[in-house]
Structure 1
Amino acid sequence: MPLPQLPSLLRHPRWWALLAIGLCLGYAVVTISLLPAWALTVIAGAWLGTGWLLRWGAPRAPRPAARVWPWSLLPLALWGLYVYLNDSFGIVDLGAIFFHLQAGMSDHGGSDRLVAAVLYSLSMLALLAAFTWLVRTDHRWRLGERLLALVLLASNPLLYGMTQRGAAIVTDDGAWLDRRYVAPVIEQAPSDPPNLLLLYLESIERTYADRERFGDAYADLDALGERGRVFEGVRQLDNTGWTMAGMIASQCGTPLMPAGLLHDRQFSPLDKVVPGVDCLGDLLSEQGYRLSYLGGASTAFAGKGLFYEGHGFDTVLGREELAPRLEDPDYVNNWGLHDDSLYDFTVEEIRRLEAEHDGPWGVVNLTIAGHAPNGYPAQSCIDRQGEFDGVDILYSVECSAWLARDLVERLEAEGLLENTLVVVASDHLTMRVSVWDLLIAGERDNTFMLLGPGIEAGTRTRREASMVDLFPTLLEAMGFTIDEHRAGLGVSLLADTETLVERHGLAGINTRMREENALQQRLWEGLVPDRPQESEEKESSPTDDQVVESPYDATGETPASVQ
């Protein structure tokens, strides 16, 4: 078969259509499989070569073109959505999608992702137009295109997750987690309860501590950890892998199961966030604590303000409240305040609490420097570390670690951390970043360390745990006595009691979570239909060590998933 001359090739719509499809196919494969970028051209070239050999768009025995709309247009668009989400976040979390749709996304700072969304949309339009031309022109594609539509639907992980969750709604047992939930109650408080400073470092997981893979990016947190107790092995359960979910898991002892999956107001705006459970703020407020939350991003995004205002916090400060107080109003990033500015306001807030309140205080702080995909390093870090290339996430990790250590040292120098428990934790594992292939090469765990009175310095504890275990651990580290070292689904890592992950494994719990309805209803009590009477009766069952629901639980085997 003679090769066509280049000018005639460029004039034929066939080659433009095949090129558009080939480039989109190559990009999708490279994005999902983590192949190097140059593989895109190889895949696109192989597609064009196959099209030339099989004469796609120009069959030897052509039939009249048919003005039909391919069945595969919607499946292709859904695959495009999945590739966009995978490229943006690394792991597509349906729970996060549902929750953010309902809790609010209008005040997010991801303008760079908006640009990416526009480019993705234009690419998808080109792909759909090219595919429609090919189907209308080449009868062979028309004959097999319906089968292709079914294959695209069946293979899309996004639809697989939705189908799996839909099957869970009709499962025989949707209360496995709920029966293990222990309502948090403080049975006894210390005579002199400590203050609490809880620092969430956006996406700064403990995995970065591996110096063979990531150098000294985590070194300042390692140094901080030597002064306190470091916990290793804090894994990420499903429905705890984004900021609000991580904070709720660590403060309420439960994964964040979105309200929109059950009740008939599925995408109406929330006016409360997990109103059915008591969380850290509720308990501390009852003990006389004055509580403040500070974050650089908007408190309207993802329901952060609703959560803290509804769970015992007196002061909730985000971008809207803090940005007007900046000396330089232009010193902000896409999300809001840089972390050095946020920490300055954090110091001011602690000074205020110390001066105005005789009782204990608690401050929760959420940073932004480590946010995927590239981070938002503060100017003070650039002055210290040199120019930022805009891509290297390890630069941002180093920035976040140094700023956290610097904040603790500043507060100590002012005497503001006397009788104060300092907690440093990641809110969740990071999403897709420049070292993604190195991060997913081995096991990953979250940052969690304690510093302060009664905490033995230089101690490392390795437990198979999850973020829900932080809640009871914080309460016991502060000197509070709780029922059997439990709160929510969590177990204090300062006790010898088995965690859920140690007993059932991460995969086993995640499988059960996909079947769970009762815990979801508990979280959103008042916003979803009342739980069935049967579930209410099971609610009063004995604690985890005494509960045996099925042969799976009796033997310790991983439960079968819903078919």
Structure 2
Amino acid sequence: MNYMLWLSAGLFLVALFTSKNRTRTRKSALIGAGTIFIYMLLSAFYIISNYFTGEGINDAVIFHLRYGLEGSGFGDYYLIIGIGFGLLIASLALSIFYYRLVKNDVFEHHQKLKYALSLSALALSLVFHPTVRFLGESALKAIGIENPLSLQYRFSDYYQDPVLTPLSEEHPNLVYIFAESFEETYFDETLFPSLVTDLRAIREQSITFTQIKQALGTSWTIAGMTAVQCGIPLVTPSANAHSPQGNSMSKMSTFYSGAVCMSDMLHKEGYKLIYRSGSPLEFAGVDKLYRTHHFDDIKGIKELKPLLTHSSYQTPWGLYDDTLLGLAMNDFKKLSKSKQKFAMFLSTMDTHHPYGHVSKSCKTQKYQDGSNSMLNAVACSDELIAKFIKQIGESPYGKNTIIVVASDHLAMHNMAIETLMKGERRNQLMIIDPRSSSAQTVDKAGTTLDIGATLLPFLGYKATLGLGRDLLGEEESLEASLDAFDKILSAWSKELSRFWEFPKIEQELVLDTTKNNLKIGKTLYKFPILLRLSENLEVSPFFEVKLKFFETAKLFGYLHDYHANDAFLWVDKCSRLSALEPESNVSAKGKYCYALGKLGAEISLENLNAPKKLSLEVLNQTLTLPYEDEKALIRRENLMKIEEK
């Protein structure tokens, strides 16, 4: 675990043991108990995040908290969920114990040395706490403080506009397999002897890249897919006046709509684009990524389940890989017979952390003594993927098909993590070109950001693609040419967040009660929603996010923190909005209402009994409303009453 957490915990214990000497009243005892509770919560959040990621709190954690966890395999995490609740109860119990212990322990003489020691230790424990440090760095980004690296390394100097240039008239089909967490390290014979055998044999006829590192913003599935498709890492918009908030991006209708990706370019070249996954498409916005970027045919477990012989044969994450690959093989044959160019992307699930799942059709159900469920799953996945590749190669269409096997990201915390950590962690990337007669091993350093630019020449195109570089070309990757590449990517978060392309209102805004969504141009947002309107009518959207075991703050919590002069549009349940203006005539029994105005000025509050259009004139008039801080104060009190209800 992060040594900074241990250092912080040690300092906190010093503060705890010396704080008794300055706890002279019930009030100070209560403050001390509250501090303990908050510290324990911060630590619990870090410990649980670290269990999932192996890297503590990172962008993957923040993304999924903002996007929501609908569709994730909660069945694999009941233990850690139980531990999380246990830590919460322990935090509360420790706080109460501390309060009762010291509330009556009154000291008559103030001990200045112990007071200074306690206060200093407490401050340092928070400074060194990894959760506080992460939140602090995020806050600096949110308020728009420029990272010096963004000035030293200008994003525009390194980002290459996506352009596709034909190299020949030969454009084969593509089958790309995102092998869940199946990283290069599993091929290491010194760590995992005879674990991966079937794919190793296929490598003897393939191009293998052995130095594909993991860049910032690419360490979870949707982020790894984005890196491959678009050549840029996945960042979530931060909450500030200049950059919209994505606290529950599952309510958005598009995904990185400002980016031009590999699939967008292949679509223009006449390729039919297909995606197959055994998991729910809604999880993390996978469906929106592919639909936004011109995929024609997208199917996950919901769409594939009617094709199953045994519908109950699935894991907590979705379909077993033998089922998925069997269905994908049928699709491959149909697509190949159509003679239309196509690119099919598959996402396997059996090697998903923490335990992995073994398909029944695997001949080898166990690795060694079978005690490690994850390694059993890796051995099975090796067999299934290799079998799938051989079926394509032996088919009449194999000679016209490029196959890629690549990990979507490095393995997170799983049953084999201790052994994995002993190796040189790298992502797997293997390209199988039937036109090539010899194998090739490429040791050139790169990241998953480079995969798209490296792959497209195999399809007959030379390409520039964002931050990616062709690893078979002469130019070095940014990973190889830039020191501290991850820190530079972090410094570019503001530029990268612009690819979300939150819209500016340039025509009337439509509130559609038939579909319960708000439409700005071509962009749709689901109700409920809160929009902050800037001076030029650029919007910052705020959403609610519901998780299966807990729930984030409601929209009125975000609105409570608005400035008195911030114009907003809030669409929500009438029972909530009516409390904002208690004397309004809206019916609290209505399903949805909308409020347009400012906290410190006039607010228009109406029921949405039918579709409603808000003109540019009305919206611009809202921006000019005079405001009063005192009126905003009253409104904030009304918002707090909503929470009480």
Residue 218 (str. 1) matches residue 196 (str. 2): yes
Tell me which of 211, 222, 230 is aligned to 1:244.
222
Check the 8 A contact 1:65/1:137 in 2, yes or no: no
Check the 8 A contact 2:358/2:365 in 1, yes or no: no
Report matched runs for 1:378-457 at 5 Å: 378-381=359-362, 384-385=365-366, 391-457=372-438
1:284-341 Cα shifts (integer Å, max 9, x gaps)? 1111111110011011000000011111110001011112221111100001100000
SS at match of 2:318: coil
Tell me which of 460, 469, 473 is aligned to 1:491.
469
State TM-score, norm by structure 2: 0.68
Q: For structure 1, which segment, 290-299 or 90-99, has the greater mean C-alpha deviation from structure 2 after superposition?
A: 90-99
Question: Counterparts of 2:503 and 2:383 in 1: how far apart (Å)?
Answer: 42
Report matched runs for 1:158-557 at 5 Å: 158-168=131-141, 169-171=144-146, 174=150, 176-260=154-238, 263-268=243-248, 269-355=251-337, 357-381=338-362, 384-385=365-366, 391-482=372-463, 486-505=464-483, 508-526=484-502
State TM-score, norm by structure 1: 0.78
The residue aligned with 1:156 is 129
Change (3 A) 1:325 1:388: farther
1:25-55 Cα shifts (integer Å, max 9, x gaps)? xxxxxx557xxxxxxxxxxxx9xxx99xxx9
Select the structure that is richer in strand.
Answer: 2
Question: Counterparts of 1:275 and 1:411 in 2: how far apart (Å)?
Answer: 33
Segments of structure 2 that go 5 or more residues without pairing to the other structure are: 4-9, 108-113, 507-645
Residue 123 (str. 1) matches residue 58 (str. 2): no
1:485-537 Cα shifts (integer Å, max 9, x gaps)? x32111101111111111113xx11111222244323421235999xxxxxxx
Question: Counterparts of 2:121 and 2:76 in 1: how far apart (Å)?
Answer: 33
Question: Counterparts of 1:110 and 1:146 in 2: how far apart (Å)?
Answer: 41
Q: For structure 1, which segment, 269-278 or 339-348, has the greater mean C-alpha deviation from structure 2 after superposition?
A: 269-278
Q: For structure 1, which segment, 279-288 or 181-190, has the greater mean C-alpha deviation from structure 2 after superposition?
A: 181-190
1:257-276 Cα shifts (integer Å, max 9, x gaps)? 11345534331432211111
Question: Counterparts of 2:24 and 2:140 in 1: how far apart (Å)?
Answer: 44
Check the 8 A contact 1:391/1:434 in 2, yes or no: yes
Query: What letter is aligned with 1:132?
Result: I
Question: Counterparts of 2:229 and 2:244 in 1: how far apart (Å)?
Answer: 28
Change (3 A) 1:429 1:333: same
Check the 8 A contact 2:191/2:423 in 1, yes or no: no
Change (3 A) 1:188 1:416: closer
Check the 8 A contact 1:296/1:339 in 2, yes or no: yes
The residue aligned with 2:41 is 77
SS at match of 1:158: helix
Give the Å deviation of 1:398: 1.3
Question: Counterparts of 1:264 and 1:63 in 2: how far apart (Å)?
Answer: 46
SS at match of 1:293: strand
Question: Counterparts of 1:223 and 1:68 in 2: how far apart (Å)?
Answer: 65
Query: What letter is aligned with 2:237?
Result: A
Give the Å deviation of 1:133: 0.8
1:111-170 Cα shifts (integer Å, max 9, x gaps)? 232442233212321233124313431459996776554344222212212222333431
Answer 1 or 2: higher relative contact order, Cα 8 Å, separation at least 6: 1
Aligned residue pairs, count: 482
Change (3 A) 1:504 1:148: same
Question: Counterparts of 2:287 and 2:258 in 1: how far apart (Å)?
Answer: 17
SS at match of 1:216: coil
SS at match of 1:211: coil
Question: Counterparts of 1:510 and 1:386 in 2: how far apart (Å)?
Answer: 36
SS at match of 1:232: strand
Question: Counterparts of 1:154 and 1:462 in 2: how far apart (Å)?
Answer: 40
Give the Å deviation of 1:450: 0.7
Q: For structure 1, which segment, 89-98 or 193-202, has the greater mean C-alpha deviation from structure 2 after superposition?
A: 89-98
Query: What letter is aligned with 2:360?
Result: Q
Check the 8 A contact 1:237/1:510 in 2, yes or no: yes
Question: Counterparts of 1:131 and 1:165 in 2: how far apart (Å)?
Answer: 28
Query: What letter is aligned with 2:146?
Result: T
Check the 8 A contact 2:176/2:345 in 1, yes or no: yes
Query: What letter is aligned with 2:245?
Result: R
Query: What letter is aligned with 1:78?
Result: L
| Percent identity over paired residues | 26
Q: For structure 1, which segment, 150-159 or 394-403, has the greater mean C-alpha deviation from structure 2 after superposition?
A: 150-159
Query: What letter is aligned with 1:123?
Result: L
What is the root-mean-square deviation of aligned Cα atoms in Å?
Answer: 3.5
Question: Counterparts of 1:388 and 1:481 in 2: how far apart (Å)?
Answer: 48
Give the Å deviation of 1:389: 5.5
Question: Counterparts of 1:289 and 1:64 in 2: how far apart (Å)?
Answer: 73
The residue aligned with 2:55 is 91
Change (3 A) 1:172 1:203: closer
Segments of structure 1 that go 5 or more residues without pairing to the other structure are: 1-30, 34-45, 531-563
Select the structure that is richer in helix.
Answer: 1
